[in-house]
Amino acid sequence: MKVLVLNCGSSSIKYQFIDADKEQWLAKGMVERIGMTGAVLTHKRYDNHDIKIVGEILDHSIAIEYVLGVMLSKNHGVIDFKEDIDAVGHRVVHGGETFSDSVLITDEVIKVLQENIELAPLHNPPNIKGIQAVQRILPNTPQCAVFDTAFHSKMPAKAFLYGIPYDLYKKYKIRRYGFHGASHLFVSKKAAEIMGRNYNELKIITAHLGNGCSMAAIKNGLSVDTTMGFTPLEGLLMGTRSGDIDPSVILYIMGKEGLTLHEAGTLLNKHSGLTGISGESSDMREIISAVKDDHKRARFAFDVFNYRIKKYLGAYSAAMGGLDAFVFTGGIGENSPEVRSEVCSDLKFLGIEIDEEKNRNGELIISSADSKVCLLRIPTNEELVIALDTKQIVEKLQKDKSIVNLKV
């Protein structure tokens, strides 16, 4: 089965066309600057042939038309007919409390996603736009939604409740949801596979460190806690997001600087984190290079970033009553030996010992022979998780249909 995986953002769409049976991508790319001047589509085929197309791409529908156009094209494409796309899988950021698993998209599901917009005002509207565009362009192709929140939906109440009046949780569904679910699931399963151990008997901590960063505590195959919360703002320090902060600080700044709710949101989401502390960049490569040049604030940013990961490593080991494996993933986790080294330093008492040579070489297992905890560096593949979930749902649908037909 061939699945088109779509990740629709407010002004961009990332896509991957995946042969879900062979677990291989056939084409991937991105449309950027949707609705702006200079919109551009970059497309890459499995044989590394690539192309860049600049066009007037006014909305998500036109962007998806462009994607299909290039996938169908004689010179750059991978399919002969639209019907060669067996299913479409969407990354949907917020499933709220309704969705604890991936689902087939129906009108009812779209209605619930619309009701959940308040929980993810930046993310769910473009996700819905992408789904509706595909409904128009590929009306007979089944679509599935795979939620960032789903993997964390079985967290115990002690991990998801905030210390606010319980009525507010019930009334507004204010609780920890957690995000990056597909990534945490993928790399934790992969870790068990690499270790040759039973996934359902392991205590694993995963650190997804990209522009957004989160950690998850995964006990016996279930996410039992995670650092992101009601929104993807809580927890670790990120490129431009503050992560954990005393809530009073926000009220204090709003009072002092006369900020509106919207402005306070922008401050915490766009001007904080590595950017805010360093005053230099949200990009970890630039932070590390500034640290090497003795840039004082870049050093503060680098230290806060690593220290927070280290603190959660301790916290989650305690939460699970032990630790078998710790996994780094995401752009920073996969590519920065400096971050991995700092985070794992001085943790021998927890059974964590990094092998610096393996770490520098970027090997899959980077722990020393004496380390009780297996340390891993695993490239994430959220798109594959989405493609495989979609395949499973659609195959079940086809099977159910054929059973009904047989009965008829």
Where along the sequence are the contacts to ligand ADP (CB under 6 A)? 210-212, 239, 283-285, 288, 330-332, 335-336
Distance CA 408, CA 406 (A): 5
Of 265 and 331, CB closest to ligand ADP: 331
How far, CA to CA in Å, does 49 sit from each of 27, 65, 192, 326?
A: 10, 20, 34, 36
Here the contacts of 388-392 (C-beta below 8 Å, separation 24 or greater) are 388/20, 388/23, 389/89, 389/102, 389/144, 389/146, 390/3, 390/5, 390/20, 390/87, 390/88, 390/89, 390/102, 390/144, 390/146, 391/1, 391/3, 391/20, 391/21, 391/87, 392/102
CB of 128 vs ligand ADP, minimal distance in Å: 21
Of 44 and 197, CB closest to ligand ADP: 44
Q: How many residues does the structure list for the chain?
A: 408
Which token pair is 367? 């722990």
Distance CA 349, CA 258 (A): 47
Which token pair is 259? 């900020």
Of 89 and 330, CB closest to ligand ADP: 330
CB of 332 vs ligand ADP, minimal distance in Å: 4
CB of 109 vs ligand ADP, minimal distance in Å: 26
Of 203 and 340, CB closest to ligand ADP: 340
| Type of residue numbered 158 | K
Of 324 and 334, CB closest to ligand ADP: 334
Residue number closest to ligand ADP, CB atom: 331
Residue 28: strand pairing partners: 16, 44
Distance CA 328, CA 172 (A): 34
One of 148, 225, 355, 389 is an active-site residue; which one? Answer: 148
Of 12 and 73, CB closest to ligand ADP: 12
CB of 288 vs ligand ADP, minimal distance in Å: 6
Q: Residue 77's CB: how many other CB atoms inside 10 A?
A: 18
Which token pair is 253? 């700044």
Which token pair is 205? 């901590």
CB of 53 vs ligand ADP, minimal distance in Å: 22
Helix axes 107-115, 124-137, angle to 10 degrees: 160
CB of 383 vs ligand ADP, minimal distance in Å: 11
CB of 211 vs ligand ADP, minimal distance in Å: 4
Distance CA 338, CA 33 (A): 33
Q: Residue 398's CB: how many other CB atoms inside 10 A?
A: 13
Of 29 and 212, CB closest to ligand ADP: 212
CB of 401 vs ligand ADP, minimal distance in Å: 37
Of 317 and 336, CB closest to ligand ADP: 336
Q: In the annotation, is 283 catalytic?
A: no
Active-site residues, by number, are 148
